[in-house]
Amino acid sequence: MPQHTAVIDAAKTAGVAQLAYTGVLGGPDADFQLAAEHKVTEQLILGSGLPHTFLRNGWYTENYTANLAPVLAHGAVVANAGDGRVASATRADYAAAAAAVLTGEGHIGAVYELSGDVAWSFAEYAAAVSAATGKEIEYKNVPAAVHQEILVHGGPRASRRSSSTSTRRSGAVCSPPRAATWPG
């Protein structure tokens, strides 16, 4: 948290007109590992007196598209999401929302819960990859412990392994679309 505190202190010293903070979907009610530091940061910003806007981003589409190599290599999308649905959005979409907040009027003090406008299942994702590549891709729903073991052997950092599992378990990834609340 020292970096977040340093940025908040620097913003106060510089007298910024508006601080836009990108946190996580659900904010203070989010119940997954990655949310903890975002909750603290939002509280620090609230306590700072800085004019601010909270942009609570859902999951990034690139979290899935960047990992297509193992999906194609193994012919499967492997996750611990059951029939849960993901309303992901691209980084460009989230950036457009941030730009609208920072260049528009009336966003000081606002909180935006952001996600994509279409919630998709992992089975639908597997079908889309199949259609795009011509390769048969299936969705394999596995228990959390199995999914974590797969991630361990896939090489992600330990913090990412456990946060990925806790994020899915809490439903943070499997969320309804909230695009109607986007600024701009």
Residue 54 has pLDDT above 90, yes or no: yes
Of residues 85 and 155, the one with the higher pLDDT is 85
Contact (CB, 8 A) for 1 and 38: no
Contact (CB, 8 A) for 116 and 177: yes
The predicted-structure confidence for 96-130, as pLDDT tens digits, reads as follows 999 999 999 999 999 999 999 999 999 999 999 99
Instruction: Report the percent of the chain where pLDDT is more than 90.
Output: 66
Of residues 178 and 13, the one with the higher pLDDT is 13
Superfamily per CATH, domain 2-171: NAD(P)-binding Rossmann-like Domain (3.40.50.720)
pTM of the model: 0.77
Question: Nearest-5° angle of CA 162, CA 29, CA 161?
Answer: 10
Q: Which residues contact 39 (CB under 8 A, 6 or more apart)?
A: 27, 28, 30
Average pLDDT rounded to a whole number, residues 50-62: 96
How many helices and strands in the chain, by DSSP H and E?
8, 7
Residue 27 has pLDDT above 90, yes or no: no
Q: Nearest 10 degrees: CA dihedral of 161, 34, 92, 122?
A: 50
The encoded tokens of residue 157 equal 């950092």
